Structure 1
Amino acid sequence: MIYSVSTNSLSPTDTMFMSSAYSTPNLYCNEVADEVMSPNADLICDRDVEHATLDFLSYDDSFIISLFDSEIDQMRELESLPHVRGDSGLISARKDAVNWVLKVHACYRFRPETAYLSVNYLDRFLSSQSLPQGGRGWPLQLLSVACLALAAKMEETSVPLLLDLQVKEPKFLFKPKTVQRMELLVMANLKWRLRMTTPFDFVPYFISKLSCLGSPLNDYSQAFSRASDLIISTCRGNSQMKTLSLSLSLSLSLSLSLSLSLSLSLSLSLSLSLSNHSSQRLSQQ
């Protein structure tokens, strides 16, 4: 059974959670949509979305180092946030929420970065903000929709309407204005830091460094696709925030270098180089 939730049906506590402090009208997206689910929403999932091919041009080493520095600062900030521990009910609810996000992600054939950012926003919010009803039920579903919508707006060139985004058997449906208010609450809670350093920022660099071995371009595209699948699979864990993007991408590049019969020594040299930089950076701070 699917329930339709609007702000008019919220309890006083829930209304405080969705307070007017986050309802600034001039920040809303001017979305035009009917107040009912589109009957053809599921059919939209079958559209053929063309994504840009991966550009394997060599990245400047100083640029990748700056990304690395950014991630260190980012992870230090995340580690300062309280984490959800010992709440098996919330952990289970989070798992269901992430599974729904990934289903919609696959349905619309979004970029892999969209899935990763969606879960990143969700985990960061849950780690610093308590939801009504202990995070179970409609609050977590609303948060999931808002996080997915924000990530899609950050990464996709074509974003479904908020009602059309609520596909793949959601337990609750929300009006666009309700989702928009939640989007503002999420952005305010995340201090408007929506552009995060992710493993996807590093993987092309590592793969492009192996181009000197003369492997065909489709090998690199295949490597990136496989790496993307592995990265997205980490989202199903208890908390994505425990995963250091650079460490993950280094492991992936090493694994991929072996599977593609590329240079193991080159992957190791890249890993050691950036690991040394990490040690120096952390010792300075």
Structure 2
Amino acid sequence: MSSHQQLNAQTFLFDALYCEEEHVDIIEENSSHTEERFVELLQQNLLLDENDDDDEDYLSFLLQKEQENELYLDFVKNPSLAQARGEAVEWMHKVIGYYSFSALTAVLAVNYLDRFLFQFQSHDEKPWMIQLSAVACLSLAAKVEEIEVPLLVDLQVEDCKYVFESKTIQRMEVLVLSTLEWKMNPVTPLSFLDFIARRLALKSHLCEEFLRRCNWVILSLISDCRFMSYLPSALATATMLYVISSVEPCIGVEYQDQLMGILGINKDKVEGCCRLIQEMATSVDFQSRNKRKFGSLPGSPKGVVDMTFSSDTDSSTDDSWATSSIASVTSSPEPLSKKTKTHQINPDHAIS
């Protein structure tokens, strides 16, 4: 399958990340009146609030803490790693749709996986290792963000190539935590979306819909390794500009410089990311999917527990422990066909 076809297939998965609920949505499907009302409210309310010291301190914290995705350069050298990562992220999002996890859970899971793969890239000899890493990273993200988390065995749904025992996954979780130095609250594009949404003088119901649309676009992008070259702040800004411009182009032009001025980020980077989103949008109709009925709002950053701990062990001890840990999780996984539990899952009902 070509990379373009794989991208299209992956992007269509994200419809499942938001499930239909009984409440009345702000923007209902096939409702031109409510869409027009949304445009009107944007035109009236898209004004930036005045700066205050607390906002400036928080923004400074986000900008200092955000990091580039270092795995991107490795993908250029190792296309097979990029393909394996794409398949793992695709599976993650299927499971997230199955359990109706939040957008933040999805972003955190992919973030953990990318950071872990950057440290451990010797997976060519064991193709199932990336799948095990994906299961562990998704489990950790769910434990950080979700209120209810399924059992480790139950987490392995949606066409899992391999099914691992709980003890094996737990060992991998410990290895991931150690490798990431227990830094489980990274700055993500959603961090900046939440900040900017508060800075925009949007009424609460309009802010909710604006964030829903932005979150959907973010979820559609994180599977594409091309977006890994952009900082979270640039990706968030480009996403907001895309959502605003898709509603009212003149508003996007008006607020582009103002948004980038708030974050103090490179204009060329943002414009490059915007062009890439527009390119992706030619094959995937973001706007029609934004009218879809959404489920509960994704979890906010305050729902993430900052699990950053310092370690007193020296680097040599960490390296030796990591080596023994990776050996402890290399017991051969059982193929899917040997697990009876997965046969009880109907793939047709796997997406809410």
TM superposition score normalised by structure 2: 0.55
**1:155 aligned to 2:142?**
no
Superposition pairs of residues 56-75 of structure 1, within 5 angstroms: 62-63=54-55, 65-75=57-67
* Alignment-derived partner of residue 264 in structure 2: 275
Q: Name stretches of at least 5 consecutive residues in structure 1 with no aligned partner.
A: 1-45, 51-57, 279-285
Query: Closer, same or farther in 2 for the Cα pair 1:61/1:149, shift >3 Å?
Result: farther
Residue of structure 2 equivalent to 1:169: 159
Q: Kindly tell me: are residues 240 and 140 of structure 1, through their superposed partners in 2, closer, same or farther at Cα, counting changes over 3 Å?
A: farther
Structure 2 distance, partners of 1:80, 1:61, is 35
Contact 2:95–2:155 (CA under 8 A) maintained in structure 1: yes
Displacement of 1:263 after TM fit? 5.0
1:225 aligns with 2:212: yes
Matched, 1:181 2:171: yes
Name 2:113's counterpart in structure 1. Answer: 122
Which amino acid letter does the alignment assign opposite residue 135 of structure 2?
A: V
Separation in 2, partners of 1:125, 1:65: 30
- When residues 47 and 274 of structure 1 are mapped into structure 2, their CA distance, relative to the original with a 3 A threshold, is closer
Alignment of 1:187-266 (within 5 A): 187-211=177-201, 217-238=204-225, 241-261=228-248, 263-264=251-252, 265-266=254-255
Assess, with a 3 A threshold, how the Cα gap between structure 1 residues 202 and 123 changes in structure 2: closer, same or farther.
same
SS in structure 2 at match of 1:164 = coil
Q: Give runs of ≥4 in structure 1 deviating > 6 Å.
A: 46-50
**Helix, strand or coil at the partner of 2:150:** coil
Name 2:88's counterpart in structure 1: 97
User: 1:202·1:249 contact (CA, 8 Å) conserved in 2?
Assistant: yes
Tell me how far 1:126 sits from its aligned partner. Answer: 1.1
Instruction: Please state how far the C-alpha of 1:165 moved relative to its aligned partner.
Output: 0.6
CA distance in 1, matches of 2:162, 2:97: 20
Quote the Cα distance in structure 2 between the aligned partners of 1:222 and 1:121.
28
1:83 is paired with a residue whose SS is: helix
Structure 2 Cα separation of the partners of residues 49 and 198 of structure 1: 30
Deviation of 1:248 after TM superposition, in Å, equals: 1.2
Structure with the bigger RCO (C-alpha within 8 Å, sep 6+) is: 2
- Partner of residue 128 from structure 2, selected from 135, 138, 150: 138
Note closer, same or farther for the CA distance 1:80–1:73 as it changes in structure 2 (3 Å cut). farther
AA in 2 matched with 1:189: T
* Deviations 1:169-189 (CA, angstroms, capped at 9, x unpaired): 101111111101000101111
Is the partner of 1:90 in helix, strand or coil? Answer: helix
C-alpha spacing 1:68/1:159, structure 2 compared with 1 (3 Å):
farther
Task: For 1:250 and 1:123, locate their aligned partners in 2 and report how far apart those are by CA, in whole Å.
Answer: 22
Alignment of 1:49-60 (within 5 A): none
Q: Matched residues, percent identical?
A: 33
5+ long unaligned stretches in structure 2 = 1-18, 24-48, 268-352
Number of residue-to-residue matches in the alignment: 223
Distance 1:49 1:156, change over 3 A: farther
Deviations 1:189-220 (A, max 9, x none): 111111111111121332333336xxx54332
- Cα displacement (A) at 1:74: 3.7
Distance, in Å, in 2 between the alignment partners of 1:127 and 1:239 is 16
Preserved CA contact (<8 Å) 1:250 1:271: yes
- Amino acid of the structure 1 residue aligned with 2:223: R
CA 1:109–1:179: 2 relative to 1, 3 Å: same
Partners of 2:162 and 2:101 lie apart in 1 by 22
Aligned mates of 1:70, 1:97 — CA distance in 2: 28
Q: CA deviation at 1:65?
A: 4.5
With the length of structure 1 as denominator, give the TM-score of the two structures: 0.67
User: Cα 1:128–1:82, aligned 2, differ >3 Å: closer, same or farther?
Assistant: farther
